[in-house]
C-alpha cells in the first residue's frame, strides 16, 4: 500500500544543501495545446492529440509537485509534442509529427524559433545557473508512458532513466529505486525502462555539453494507468515519488560528505 514518508532530514535536500547542488525540473510533454497559427495542420487530429501521442498525461502535475517540494525552477511546455517534440534533437526523424513534417520549411523553422529554441534556452539557462552557483546540478525531466504499446503491456509503475556511463546518474537512480521500494512495496520500479536512458532527449543533449561531475540528468517515467485512474492512489503516488527522492538525496548527500 502506498504511504509517503515525511519524517526525514529535509535540510540535506534543500537547494544548495551540504552536498552543494541545485535541482532543475523540466516537463517537455506537459500538454496537447496547438497554437492558433498551426491549428489548420491538425484538422481532424483531436484523437491523437488527446492520446499519449499528443502529450504525457500526469507529467506536468508531477513536475510541479517536484518543483514545489524542492523550491526548484520548472521549465514546462503545454504545446503538443505533435507540433514539435521538445525531447528530440534537431534532425531527429521524430522531431516533427506527420502533421508538421510535410509543412513548408518556413513553417517548420517558425515552430522551432517560437517553441523549441526558447524552451531549450530556458532549460539551459537554469542548468548553467545552478552549476555556476553550486558546481553541480541534478536535472529531473518528468514524463509518463502508455501502459501498452504495440500490443505489449509495460510491466512497471515507475521508470528511472539514466546513462549507465555516468556514475552520478547510476548512483542516484539506485538510491531512488531503493527508496521508492522502501516507501511503497507494491510499486514496480525499473531502471532504464521502458526506454534506454542514454537515448536521444533533453538529458542526452545536456550530457554532450556538460561533464559528469557537473551534470546529473534523470528522466522520471510514470505509468499512465495511474494517472488515468486518478483518485487517491495517484495523489499518494506523487507524494511517494517526491518523498522517496528526498530520502535518496539525503542518502547521497551523506555519502558525498562522508
Kindly report, residue by residue over 220-252, the tens digit of the pLDDT: 999 999 999 888 999 999 999 999 999 999 987
Burial (CB < 10 A; 0-12, 13-18, 19+), residue 123, is: buried
The Cα 40–Cα 34 span in angstroms is 10
- Asked if 14 contacts 58 with a C-beta cutoff of 8 angstroms, the reply is no
Place domain 10-33+55-78+127-257 in its CATH homologous superfamily: Zn-dependent exopeptidases (3.40.630.40)
- Residues whose CB falls within 8 Å of the CB of residue 73, separated by 6 or more in sequence, listed in order: 24, 25, 67, 126
With bands split at pLDDT 50, 70 and 90, how would you rate the model's confidence at 181? very high
pLDDT over 60 (residue 14) = no
Whole-number pLDDT of residue 4:
35
The Cα 156–Cα 167 span in angstroms is 24
The Cα 120–Cα 245 span in angstroms is 25
Whole-number pLDDT of residue 168:
96
Burial (CB < 10 A; 0-12, 13-18, 19+), residue 28, is: buried
Phi then psi dihedrals of residue 226, to 5 deg: -75, -35
- Reduced to 3 states (helix: H, G, I; strand: E, B; else coil), residue 253 is helix
The Cα 251–Cα 258 span in angstroms is 11
- Reduced to 3 states (helix: H, G, I; strand: E, B; else coil), residue 34 is coil
Record the pTM. Answer: 0.92
β partners of residue 76: 27
21-36 per-position pLDDT tens digit: 799 999 999 999 999 9
Whole-number pLDDT of residue 17:
40
The Cα 29–Cα 257 span in angstroms is 36
With bands split at pLDDT 50, 70 and 90, how would you rate the model's confidence at 185? confident
pLDDT over 50 (residue 12) = no
Tell which wins on pLDDT, 166 or 9: 166
Whole-number pLDDT of residue 256:
65
38-74 per-position pLDDT tens digit: 999 999 899 999 999 999 999 999 999 999 999 999 9
CA 203 to chain centre: 9
97-140 per-position pLDDT tens digit: 999 999 999 999 999 999 999 999 999 999 999 999 999 999 99
Whole-number pLDDT of residue 254:
64
Whole-number pLDDT of residue 124:
98
The Cα 76–Cα 88 span in angstroms is 15
Amino acid at each position: 500500500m502506498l504511504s509517503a514518508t515525511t519524517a526525514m532530514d529535509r535540510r540535506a535536500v534543500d537547494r544548495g544543501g551540504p552536498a552543494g547542488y541545485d535541482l532543475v525540473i523540466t516537463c517537455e510533454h506537459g500538454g496537447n495545446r496547438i497554437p492558433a497559427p498551426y491549428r489548420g495542420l491538425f484538422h481532424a487530429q483531436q484523437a491523437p492529440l488527446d492520446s499519449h501521442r499528443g502529450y504525457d498525461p500526469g507529467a506536468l502535475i508531477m513536475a510541479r509537485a517536484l518543483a514545489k517540494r524542492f523550491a526548484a525552477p520548472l521549465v514546462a511546455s503545454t504545446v503538443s509534442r505533435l507540433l514539435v517534440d521538445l525531447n528530440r534533437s534537431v534532425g531527429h526523424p521524430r522531431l516533427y509529427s506527420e502533421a508538421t513534417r510535410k509543412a513548408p520549411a518556413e513553417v517548420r523553422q517558425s515552430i522551432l524559433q517560437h517553441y523549441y529554441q526558447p524552451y531549450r534556452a530556458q532549460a539551459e539557462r537554469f542548468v548553467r545557473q545552478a552549476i555556476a552557483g553550486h558546481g553541480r546540478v541534478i536535472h529531473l525531466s518528468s514524463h509518463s508512458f502508455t501502459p501498452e504499446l504495440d500490443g505489449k503491456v509495460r510491466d512497471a509503475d515507475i521508470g528511472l532513466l539514466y546513462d549507465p556511463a555516468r556514475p552520478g546518474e547510476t548512483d542516484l537512480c539506485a538510491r531512488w529505486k531503493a527508496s521508492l521500494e522502501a516507501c511503497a512495496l507494491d510499486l514496480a520500479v525499473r531502471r532504464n525502462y521502458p526506454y534506454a536512458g542514454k537515448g536521444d532527449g533533453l538529458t542526452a543533449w545536456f550530457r554532450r555539453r556538460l561533464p559528469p561531475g557537473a551534470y546529473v540528468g534523470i528522466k522520471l517515467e510514470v505509468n499512465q494507468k495511474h494517472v488515468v485512474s486518478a483518485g487517491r492512489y495517484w495523489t499518494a503516488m506523487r507524494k511517494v515519488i517526491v518523498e522517496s527522492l528526498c530520502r535518496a538525496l539525503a542518502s547521497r548527500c551523506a555519502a558525498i560528505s562522508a
